Amino acid sequence: MKDNHSNIEIEELIRSSIKITDVPDPKLNNKLKAALYQQEAALRRQPATHKLSLWYLPMILNLITFTLLALFALITIENIYLSYFTAGICIYAAAAGILLTIAGIKRTNIKEEITIRIEKRGVLT
C-alpha cells in the first residue's frame, strides 16, 4: 500500500512539472523559425544523391590482370622467346582493354550506365 501511495505522489509531481505555463518570447520564436527555414532551404538546395561513376573500373582491372599475367609469363616460362611472346600478347590485351573502354565512352553512354547513386542522410528531397 505504501508503495502505491508513493507512486501516486511521484506521478502527481511529474504531471505538475510537465505543465508549462511559460510562453516563449515571440521575437525569439520568430528568429528560431527563420533560422529553421534557412537551414531547410539550404538542405533542399543540396543534391539528394551523390553519384559515383565507375566507368574506369573494368579498364583498371583488365590492365592489372594482364600486366600481372605478363610478369608471371616472364618469370615462369623458361623459353625466352615464348615468354616474350606470351607477355606481348598480355600487354596487347591490356592495351585493347584500354582502347575498348575509350571507344565505349565515345560511342555509348557508359559513364551514366555504370554509376552508383548514394543517398545522403539529412538531405530533403
For 2-19, what is each residue's pLDDT tens digit?
Answer: 556 667 878 877 777 777
Q: What is the mean pLDDT of residues 43-49?
A: 69
Which residues are CB-neighbours of 45 under 8 A, at least 6 positions away? none
- Distances from the Cα of 86 to the Cα of 38, 62, 81, angstroms: 64, 16, 9
Domain count, the chain: 1
Domain that holds residue 108: 2-119
CA distance 55 to 111: 5
Q: Is residue 40 part of a domain?
A: yes
Task: Give yes or no for a contact between 112 and 54, defined as CB atoms under 8 angstroms apart.
Answer: no
In this prediction, residue 1 carries a pLDDT of: 47
Q: Is residue 93 part of a domain?
A: yes
**How is residue 87 annotated by DSSP?**
H
The pLDDT tens digits of the residues spanning 27-44 come to: 877 888 888 888 877 767
Task: Give yes or no for a contact between 70 and 93, defined as CB atoms under 8 angstroms apart.
Answer: no
In this prediction, residue 124 carries a pLDDT of: 53
Q: Is residue 39 part of a domain?
A: yes
- Share the mean pLDDT of the chain: 82
Task: Give yes or no for a contact between 101 and 55, defined as CB atoms under 8 angstroms apart.
Answer: yes
Q: pTM of the prediction?
A: 0.54
